[in-house]
Amino acid sequence: MNKDTLLIAGKNYNSRLLLGTGNYKDFAETQAAVEASGAEISTIAIRRSNIGQNPNEPNLLDILPPSKYTLLPNTAGCYSADDAVRTLRLARELLDGHSLVKLEVLGDPQSLYPNVVETLAAAKTLVAEGFQVMVYTSDDPIVARQLEDIGCVAIMPLASLIGSGMGILNPWNLQLIMERVQVPVIVDAGVGTASDAAIAMELGCDGVLMNTAIAAAQLPVLMASAMKKAVEAGRAAYLAGRMPKKLYSASPSSPTQGLISRPTA
Amino acid sequence: MISVSINGVTRHFDTPVNVVTLLEQMQMGGKRIAVECNGEIIPRGQFDQHLLADGDKLEIVVAVGGG
């Protein structure tokens, strides 16, 4: 375990990159991408079993064993607090009592923007039932604080819309969120390429969760390794403390004395 | 004869069956699944005791890829 670990709900993680498992070509690509990313936490979705399917068909959990990965069941596709709560109760049963979950309640099927009112309601119920809730939300700093007050273990604001690849659209709101909450802030949604992930980490975010940025890349496994480096680089840059930005500086990085063709005294 | 909705599809059974038998009939025995009946989770340990009743609504779910 390195020294700069990500602490979520009492457990330390080396990797600050969290990975979704959706939309890969097949399980082999999913597994290769997760490995290349170095992610230790992976989201999964809960869906009706296709009854009558080939009973020998491989299952996602065969390539992502709960013994090796921290699985984060999500509530993707839920538009009400009730559906989200039911989904996570099923997920907890499916995963033998595992209680670390990702809550998301959507408000609109086109934009996939979160419905924060339903999200707050679902979070209250889930926390009361003993779930450890990592909550996907908008970049509203007031809502973020309310979700923390309810007892969520991580706040996961969007950088931009799910699957949009638009990157960090409002770094100022992310900064407001980080000023106000004590639990980890993990950017979730909208990351498109490596620089987006690095920027999130440079802002001081505790981690980044992404899926489409890797799954929809031309070469997903290569992008996964790029993202691993980006999150590490951004984090190191943040810890290193960047130089200030200024309009101009009269201090060049080379000496001002001893220039040739200058008259001496 | 009882009618039960399973994952949104109505199925008929001559006699009430328990969840173990149901899963076997659907070739899902041994798969990692979770079951909800009329909004309540049926714990795995109670599959053999829980008998389906007429009008029951079941959800049987698995883990799949998602972000």
pLDDT value for A72? 98
Predicted pLDDT of residue A200: 98
Q: Which chain A residue shows the shortest CA-CA distance from B7?
A: A48
Q: Which of A21, A90, A94 is opposite residue B65, by nearest beta carbon?
A: A21
Average pLDDT over residues A243-256: 89
Q: In the prediction, which pLDDT does A69 show?
A: 97
Active site residue A3: no
Q: DSSP H helical segments within chain A, as ranges?
A: 27-37, 60-63, 81-94, 116-128, 141-150, 171-180, 194-202, 212-215, 220-240
For the segment A135-145, what is each residue's pLDDT rounded down to a tens digit? 999 999 999 99
d(CA A68, CA A70): 7
Q: Which residues of chain B have pLDDT under 70?
A: none
Q: How far is A46 from chain B (nearest CA, A)?
A: 5
Q: Which of B28, B30, B64 sits opposite A47 (nearest CB)?
A: B64
- The pTM of this model reads 0.94
Task: Give pLDDT tens digits for A1-46.
Answer: 678 999 999 999 999 999 999 999 999 999 999 999 999 999 999 9
pLDDT tens digits, residue range A138-176? 999 999 999 999 999 999 999 999 999 999 999 999 999
Cβ pair B67:A212 closer than 8 A: yes
pLDDT at A63 over 90: yes
Number of alpha carbons in the 13 Å side-chain half-sphere of residue A60:
28
Please tell me the predicted confidence (pLDDT) of residue A257. Answer: 87
Least CA distance to A53: which residue of chain B? B27
Q: A38 near A15, Cβ under 8 Å?
A: yes
Residue tagged active-site, from A68, A102, A228, A229: A102
Question: pLDDT tens digits for A78-114?
Answer: 999 999 999 999 999 999 999 999 999 999 999 999 9
B interface mutation test: which of A48, A102, A104, A125 has the most B CBs within 10 A?
A48
- CA-to-CA distance for A255 and B57, rounded, in angstroms? 79
The span from the CA of A194 to the CA of A47, in Å, is 31
Which residues in chain A have Cβ-Cβ distances shorter than 8 Å to B67? Answer: 20-23, 43, 45, 74, 76, 162, 209-212
